[in-house]
Amino acid sequence: MAAIRRRTLKVLTLLVLFIFLTSFLLNYSHNAVTTSWFPKQIVIELSENFKKLMTYSHRPCTCARCLSQRGVSPWFDERFNWSVQPLLTAQNALLEDSTYSWWLKLQREKRPSDLNDTLKMLFRVVPGNVDPLLQKKSQGCRRCAVVGNSGNLRGSEYGSQIDGHDFVLRMNKAPTAGFEVDVGSKTTHHLMYPESFRELAHNVSMVLVPFKILDLEWVVSATTTGTISHTYVPVPAKIKVKKDQILIYHPAFMKYVFDSWLQGHGRYPSTGILSVIFSLHVCDEVDLYGFGADSKGNWHHYWENNPSAGAFRKTGVHDGDFESLVTATLASIDKVRIFKGR
| 265 known member of a binding site | no
Distance CA 166, CA 284 (A): 11
Burial 301-337 (b: 16+ CB within 10 A, else e): bbbeeeeebbeebeeeebbbeebbebbebbeeeebbe
The answer to whether 288 and 339 have CB atoms below 8 angstroms apart is yes
Candidates 162, 122, 120; CA nearest to 145 is: 162
268 is an annotated ligand-binding site residue: yes
Helix (H, G, I), strand (E, B) or coil at 94: coil
- The annotation status of 341 as a binding-site residue, yes or no, is no
CA contacts within 13 A on the Cβ side of 3: 2
Q: Which of 165, 189, 281, 318 is catalytic?
A: 318
The reply, when asked if residue 184 is annotated as ligand binding, is: no
Look up 300 and say whether it is catalytic. no
318 known ligand binder: yes
Q: Residue 193, annotated ligand binder?
A: no
Annotated active-site residue in 249, 268, 289, 302? 268
CA 220, CA 226: separation in Å to the nearest integer?
Answer: 8
Three-class SS state of 5? helix
Question: Is 316 labeled as ligand-binding?
Answer: no
User: 292 labelled as ligand-binding?
Assistant: yes
Grouping H, G, I as helix, E, B as strand and the rest as coil, residue 303 is: coil
User: Does the annotation flag 107 for ligand binding?
Assistant: yes
Residue 190: active-site member:
no
Structural contact between residues 79 and 326, judged by C-beta atoms closer than 8 angstroms: no
DSSP 163-213: HTSSEEEEETT---TT-HHHH-S--SEEEE-GGG-----TT-EEEE--SSH
Q: Which residues are documented as binding site? A: 107, 149, 172, 232, 268, 272, 292, 301, 318
Q: What are the catalytic residues? A: 268, 318
Binding-site residues for substrate, please? 107, 149, 172, 232, 268, 272, 292, 301, 318
